[in-house]
């Protein structure tokens, strides 16, 4: 459509420049602040903003989430609700520590302690604010209304104090315990990790490892061996038992060639033996079954240890029966090292077996491991295999490729390692968590019973302590003298119990907090334990800690919890969504949020991961300053990513939004401005009875109904997509057939047409305001003057 223009309505508008002008207007007039101040607190819509790390520039994933977190609050604001929107920063944890270690050239915890924990944490503190100004610039340019000037930070004392309260309250309710359990352990970061941290990022890789079948010499029987299979030869010095299934059938087989007798599960005979001792077509059979036994028959059978570097503190080196043993692979006999396997530890507790700790915190064989001392565990594999081979105990070896977990931050291969740690008893809470989850509305809804619901059903207890430095300290003090333990819930309580005066300005981080000692009931001093919190426990405490609850804002929080709405990417079903849900259920027996929007992942246009190195995606800032934030917002909000599907980002598709939607609507606006001129067009009732006007009003009412219904169910795709066909109808059908009316000599019909167009444009600006706020504001201002 080509129409005459006036100086105020250029044919080729600079949309990014218009957006900057609208931003300046909002800021000058304090429009966001007034949208809060001028709405009643009694009518509040609550929203939680998941805190990002400010350790780099925002990417498209961040902008997507910010667009959603702007659309929904704007919508409810327009419905008359007060919608507080306060930004937050995630400051603690391994992501920050790993970056600082690289920056300082530190490779281990020993390096950090030599450098100085205080100095290290000071660098961490500075590093988390490096990109704050850049984030503010990006978020402001996107058009998101959010209070970043009063952002909460997980490193603030007030935030940490509320995290202490959460921990203390869970401890008081019996939902926290300390235990030595087998969990994921990163030898590079030298800390335990939680199961959901690994599941969240799907942190598994395919790796090739040795798989060995080892002979264990039976005591008191000549040349008789139990055969056990393992893919972790480095754990063999920690062996204390062999597990058999009580109901499986086992055999003793005598090998003709060697005279040795081997014991293994009967169903695996062909796999275990015939590949090494093939049956001849005629002549002597190379082996014979000399005895059939059940797993129960093998129970208690003793064997000679492979290694004696460490003396067990209780009876060991015998066959025990456990139900988890299978005959699917291996030999039906399981090498058991309680320090390095969850099932192994279960066997140890069932049968009172010792635990031999043969690996240090850095993933090296201990100093008392003889010829293997000091070796990284994977380097010790071939050394141990060579030793067993020389001693005639290595029955078979091969290479297998399998999936192994890696650290979600440094990509180091993890090991399962028994270590003392603090846990949330998720198993005990599971019933309440599942009940509370039924009250949450998900978009898309398949997450309710699917990824989130199934994850809750199988969730293990949550390891929440980290043997690291930059994090909120666990508020636990212990007396070395009498063993008394004190969990502190606030700074006030800590000061009351402290030996000596504690400064009001005390930084609650290590090492300052480690100096504070408490008076014990026995008269001695209590020292704080060294662990810090898992950063997911901190972010999961966000509803309480961001408000400094319950030390402040208690009445307000109690009235407005849980949140009406949250949104993040689908990986957070096992991250932030999960930690929020666990803690809210444990504290209050209800979910932390009522409605949640889950998005998919943004990839490069070719379907590959976006990479700064490959430069396979457009720079977000450049795109917003060239094409505009409104176009980017509409492109993302109308895409399959809002339905938790993958989006291959297309710069051309984003540019097309500017032409096909904003450009057309701008031309419609220009047509009105041209033909209305300086004339005041009043919107009056009743509306025009012209058939074209009645039709476009009907389309407008349908649009409003469609958008409203979709927004009420948090279906942003169905809310935003109808805008484009409506604008096409307005321009291509109504305006094309009405332009002569506005040019014609019939004054009444001309006024009806202009009045109709003015009202439709004003209503359209209101409908599109949550999604494309800059253009909506410009359209409204131009029409209302």
Query: What pLDDT does residue 421 have?
Result: 94
Q: Per residue in 582-615, pLDDT tens?
A: 999 999 999 999 999 999 999 999 888 887 777 8
The catalytic residue among 17, 29, 492, 609 is 609
Residue 3 pLDDT greater than 60, yes or no: no
pLDDT above 90 covers a percentage of the chain that reads 80
Residue 204 confidence (pLDDT)? 85
Range(s) of the chain covered by CATH 1.10.730.10: 651-784
d(CA 351, CA 548): 47
- Is 90 catalytic? The answer is yes
Which CATH superfamily groups domain 651-784?
Isoleucyl-tRNA Synthetase; Domain 1 (1.10.730.10)
Whether residue 607 contacts residue 648, with contact meaning beta carbons closer than 8 Å, is answered with yes
Active site residue 420: no
- Average pLDDT of the segment spanning 247-255: 95
pLDDT of 482 > 60? The answer is yes
Domain with CATH 3.90.740.10 in the chain: 204-405
User: What was the pLDDT predicted at 4?
Assistant: 41
Residue 387 — pLDDT band, cuts 50, 70, 90? very high
The confidence band for 404, taking pLDDT boundaries of 50, 70 and 90, is confident
**What's the CA gap between 91 and 94, in Å, rounded?**
10
CB atoms within 10 A of CB 272: 24
The whole-model pTM stands at 0.90
Question: For the chain, give me the number of helices (H) and strands (E)?
Answer: 31, 26
pLDDT tens digits along 57-90: 899 999 999 999 999 999 999 999 999 999 999 9
**pLDDT confidence band for 299 (50 / 70 / 90):** very high
CA dihedral 670, 675, 681, 685 (to 10 degrees): -90
Task: Kindly tell me if the per-residue pLDDT of 252 is higher than 50.
Answer: yes
Q: Tell me whether strands 176-186 and 415-424 are parallel, antiparallel or unpaired.
A: antiparallel
Q: Does residue 7 have a pLDDT over 70?
A: no
Q: Tell me the per-residue pLDDT of 127-167, one tens digit each, with 9 for 90 and over.
A: 998 999 999 999 999 999 999 999 999 999 999 999 999 99
Mean pLDDT computed over 420-425: 96
- Selecting among 51, 95, 543, 618, the annotated active-site residue is 51
| Active site (annotated) includes residue 572 | yes
Kind and range of the H or E run holding 182: strand 176-186
Q: What 3-state DSSP class applies to 20?
A: helix
Residue 40, Cβ neighbours under 10 Å: how many? Answer: 9
Q: How confident is the model at residue 1 (pLDDT cuts 50, 70, 90)?
A: very low
Average of pLDDT values for 401-407?
86
Contact yes or no for 275/290 (Cβ under 8 A): no
pLDDT above 90 (res 677): no
Q: Active site residue: 536, 570, 722, 752, which one? A: 536
Q: Is the predicted pLDDT of residue 274 greater than 90, yes or no?
A: no
Is the pLDDT at 561 greater than 70? The verdict is yes
pLDDT tens string 711-723: 999 999 999 999 9
d(CA 708, CA 698) in angstroms, rounded, equals: 15
Catalytic status, residue 536: yes
Average pLDDT over every residue of 533-553: 97
Q: What is the mean pLDDT of residues 628-640?
A: 97
Q: What is the pLDDT of residue 287?
A: 84
Query: Are 415 and 377 in contact, with CB atoms under 8 Å apart?
Result: yes
| Arithmetic mean of pLDDT, 555-569 | 96
Give yes or no: 556 in active site: no
Average pLDDT score over the chain: 93
Residue 5: per-residue pLDDT: 43
- Strand, helix or coil at 92? coil
Candidates 267, 162, 192; CA nearest to 541 is: 162
Partners of 205 in beta bridges: 404
Q: Confirm whether 576 is a catalytic residue.
A: yes
pLDDT value of position 33: 96
> Which is it for the CA torsion 746, 751, 752, 758, positive or negative?
positive
Contact residues for 767 (Cβ-Cβ < 8 A; gap 6+)? 703, 704, 707, 723
Give the class (CATH, top level) of 204-405.
alpha beta
CA distances from 240 to 305, 310, 327, 533 (A): 8, 11, 21, 33
Q: Quick one: pLDDT band at residue 12, thresholds 50, 70, 90?
A: confident
What is the pLDDT at residue 765?
97
Active site residue 51: yes
Q: Where are the alpha helices (DSSP H) in 105-246?
A: 109-115, 117-127, 132-142, 157-172, 195-200
- Catalytic residue (choose from 90, 564, 571, 715): 90
Per DSSP, helices labelled H in 480-528 are 491-497
* Cβ-proximal residues to 555 (8 Å cutoff; 6+ apart), any chain: none
The C-alpha atoms of residue 77 and residue 55 are separated, in whole angstroms, by 31
CA distance 619 to 612: 9
CB atoms inside a 10 Å sphere around CB 364: 19
Helices (H), 520-676: 535-540, 542-545, 554-560, 576-588, 620-626, 629-637, 651-657, 664-676
Catalytic residue among 89, 135, 165, 576: 576
> Residue 276: its pLDDT value, please?
64
- Residue 761's contacts (CB-CB under 8 Å, 6 or more residues apart) are 668, 669, 672, 779, 783
Catalytic residue among 365, 572, 715, 734: 572
- Report the C-alpha gap between 476 and 492 in whole angstroms: 15
- 3-class DSSP assignment, residue 211: strand
């Amino acid at each position: 459509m080509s129409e005459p223009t006036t100086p105020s309505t250029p044919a080729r508008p600079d949309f990014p420049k218009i957006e900057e002008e609208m931003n300046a207007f909002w800021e000058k007039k304090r429009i966001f602040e007034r949208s809060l101040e001028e709405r009643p607190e009694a009518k509040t819509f609550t929203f939680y903003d998941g805190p990002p790390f400010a350790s780099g520039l925002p990417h498209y994933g961040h902008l997507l989430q910010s667009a959603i977190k702007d659309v929904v609050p704007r919508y409810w604001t327009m419905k008359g609700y007060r919608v507080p929107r306060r930004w937050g920063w995630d400051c603690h944890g391994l992501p920050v520590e790993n970056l600082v270690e690289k920056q300082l050239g530190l490779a281990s915890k020993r390096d950090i302690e030599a450098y100085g924990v205080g100095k290290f944490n000071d660098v961490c503190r500075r590093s988390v604010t490096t990109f704050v100004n850049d984030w503010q610039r990006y978020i402001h340019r996107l058009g998101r209304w959010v209070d970043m000037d009063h952002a909460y930070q997980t490193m603030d004392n007030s935030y940490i104090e509320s995290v202490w309260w959460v921990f203390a309250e869970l401890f008081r309710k019996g939902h926290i315990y300390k235990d030595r359990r087998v969990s994921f352990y990163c030898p590079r970061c030298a800390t335990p990790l939680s199961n959901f941290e690994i599941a969240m990022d799907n942190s598994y890789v395919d790796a090739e490892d040795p798989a060995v079948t080892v002979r264990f010499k039976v005591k008191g029987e000549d040349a008789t061996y139990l055969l056990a299979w393992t893919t972790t030869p480095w754990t063999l010095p920690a062996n204390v038992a062999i597990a058999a299934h009580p109901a499986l059938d086992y055999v003793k087989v005598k090998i003709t060639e060697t005279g040795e007798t081997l014991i293994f599960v009967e169903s695996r005979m062909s796999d275990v033996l015939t590949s090494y001792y093939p049956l001849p077509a005629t002549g002597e059979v190379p082996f014979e079954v000399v005895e059939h036994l059940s797993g129960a028959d093998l129970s208690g059978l003793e064997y000679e240890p492979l290694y004696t570097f460490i003396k067990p503190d209780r009876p060991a080196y015998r066959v025990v029966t456990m139900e988890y043993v299978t005959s699917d692979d291996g030999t039906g006999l399981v090498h058991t090292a309680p320090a390095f396997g969850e099932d192994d530890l279960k066997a140890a507790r069932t049968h009172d077996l010792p635990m031999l700790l043969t690996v240090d915190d850095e993933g090296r064989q201990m100093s008392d491991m003889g010829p293997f001392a000091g070796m990284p565990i994977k380097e010790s594999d071939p050394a141990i295999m060579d030793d067993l081979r020389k001693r005639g105990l290595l029955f078979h070896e091969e290479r297998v490729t399998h999936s192994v977990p890696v650290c979600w931050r440094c990509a180091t291969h993890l090991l399962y390692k028994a270590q003392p740690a603090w846990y949330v008893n998720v198993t005990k809470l599971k019933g309440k968590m599942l009940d509370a989850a039924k009250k949450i509305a998900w978009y898309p809804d398949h997450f309710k019973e699917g990824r989130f619901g199934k994850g809750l059903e199988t969730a293990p207890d949550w390891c929440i302590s980290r043997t690291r430095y930059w994090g909120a300290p666990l508020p636990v003090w212990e007396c070395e003298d009498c063993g008394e333990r004190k969990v502190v819930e606030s700074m006030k309580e800590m000061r009351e119990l402290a030996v000596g005066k504690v400064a009001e300005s005390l930084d609650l981080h290590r090492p300052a907090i480690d100096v504070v000692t408490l008076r014990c009931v026995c008269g001695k001093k209590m020292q704080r334990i060294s662990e810090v919190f898992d950063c997911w426990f901190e972010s999961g405490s966000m509803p309480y800690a961001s408000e400094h609850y319950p030390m402040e804002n208690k009445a307000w929080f109690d009235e407005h919890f849980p949140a009406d709405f949250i949104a993040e990417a689908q990986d957070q079903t096992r991250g932030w969504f999960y930690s929020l849900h666990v803690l809210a259920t444990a504290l209050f027996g209800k979910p932390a949020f009522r409605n949640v929007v889950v998005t998919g992942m943004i990839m490069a246009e070719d379907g590959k991961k976006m990479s700064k190195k490959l430069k396979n995606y457009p720079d977000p800032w450049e795109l917003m300053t060239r094409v505009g934030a409104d176009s980017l917002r509409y492109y993302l909000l109308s895409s399959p990513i809002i339905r938790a599907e993958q989006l291959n980002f297309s710069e051309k598709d984003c540019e097309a939004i500017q032409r096909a939607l904003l450009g057309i609507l701008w031309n419609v606006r220009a047509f009105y401005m041209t033909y209305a001129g300086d004339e005041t067009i009043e919107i009056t009732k009743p509306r025009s009875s012209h058939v074209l006007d009645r039709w476009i009003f009907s389309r407008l009412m349908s649009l409003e109904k469609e958008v409203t219904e979709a927004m009420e169910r948090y279906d942003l795709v169905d809310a935003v997509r109808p805008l484009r066909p409506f604008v096409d109808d307005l321009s291509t059908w109504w305006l094309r057939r009405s332009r002569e009316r506005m040019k014609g000599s019939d004054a009444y019909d001309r006024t009806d047409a202009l009045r109709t167009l003015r009202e439709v444009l004003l209503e359209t600006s209101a409908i599109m305001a949550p999604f494309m706020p800059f253009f909506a504001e410009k359209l409204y201002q131009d029409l209302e003057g």
